[in-house]
Structure formats: C-alpha cells, structure tokens
Amino acid sequence: MKYEPSLLEIFLTRLSFLLYSKSVYRAFADRLPLNGKEQVLDFGCGMGTVAYYLAKRLPYGHLTCMDISQRWLKVCRKTLRSHGNIAYRQSESPMFGKESFDLVYCHFVLHDISESELRDIIHALAESLKPGGVLVFREPLRERGKIGVIKHLIEQNSLFLKESRITDIPLLGNALESVYIK
C-alpha cells in the first residue's frame, strides 16, 4: 500500500498546523503519559504535527517517526529539524524488536488502514511495547465501525483499556482517544 500525499494535502496539513496546532496537536501530545526518558514511536507521523510538541517533552528520551510516505518523512524532518533525539523510518509495517518502546501513538492513522493490514500492524505495535508500555490512538468518531475493529484487535493482543475520551477537533468533529496498557 504505497501512498504519497499530494502537494495540496501537504499545504492543507501545514495550514491546519499553523491555525490549530495548539488545540489539536499540542493538546494530544500534552496528554500522552511521559516522564521525559521514554522510547516513543509515532506510527504514521505525517509531517510531524504531534511529534513537534512531543519531542520537547523527551529531553532524555528518543522519538522514532515512522510513515509509509517518503514525502511525508521529508516534510517531517523539516518540521522537526531543531530536535536531535529523533530517528526517521519509512516502512509500511512496524517491524521493531520486541519490547522496544515505552509509548506508541497513532494520530488519525489507523482508520485509513485496511482491516487485513491492521491485524499485522496492531500485532507488531503491541509486540514492540515494553511491559507496562502504552498504546494511544486518536481516531475520528465518524469511523465507528473501524474504531470497533481497532479496539477489538488491540484487546486481542493482550492490551488493556486504561481510559477513553471523546474530544472535539476543530474542522474535523469528534474523535475518540483511547489509552491501552501492555
């Protein structure tokens, strides 16, 4: 499943980042459970909208930004150019060592992945978490059917729901944020 965003999509994402970054991306990043020393994976990082705020919260940790798109990773590198604690990885599947991350987050990504691919991806994300590690996702509430599949697959991989909340995202409507623990 190769995907490259159009220049228009990149422009609109940048515009959204400029106009709504604090209320959308920073608010999400600020709620992620961090103490500053974690190994973190941003799965489906796009241009680095959440990572921009999260990287500042990892003075002794490390962030891996992963996306299937070479174009998005190029834009992400530019967004995060002032941070040295970041690695970039282009891949369709999160193949990492077992128990590599303390936190994995997905921001408006999982609903775009086919159900057949989600099985393998969520399994790999769950395996990449250290014991006690956290998986957090935010998905548009209008994708209720897909959210049900995502939650079921996460629970099949022995992750347990800690909390969920519905948030209102400017221009996008309501979204579900869920936190799972390994």
In a domain, 30, yes or no: yes
In a domain, 2, yes or no: no
Show the domain range for 174: 7-181
In a domain, 49, yes or no: yes
Burial call 161-182: b when 16+ CB within 10 Å, e when fewer? eeeeeebebeeeeebbbbbbeb
For residues 104-109, average pLDDT: 96
Tell me what percent of the residues of the chain surpass a pLDDT of 90. Answer: 79
pLDDT tens string 5-52: 888 888 888 888 888 788 889 999 999 999 999 999 999 999 999 999
pTM of the model: 0.93
pLDDT at 81 over 60: yes
CATH of the domain at 96: 3.40.50.150
DSSP 79: H
Count of domains in the chain? Answer: 1
Pairing type for strands 101-107 and 86-90 reads unpaired
Q: Which two tokens stand for residue 140?
A: 């548009």
In a domain, 1, yes or no: no
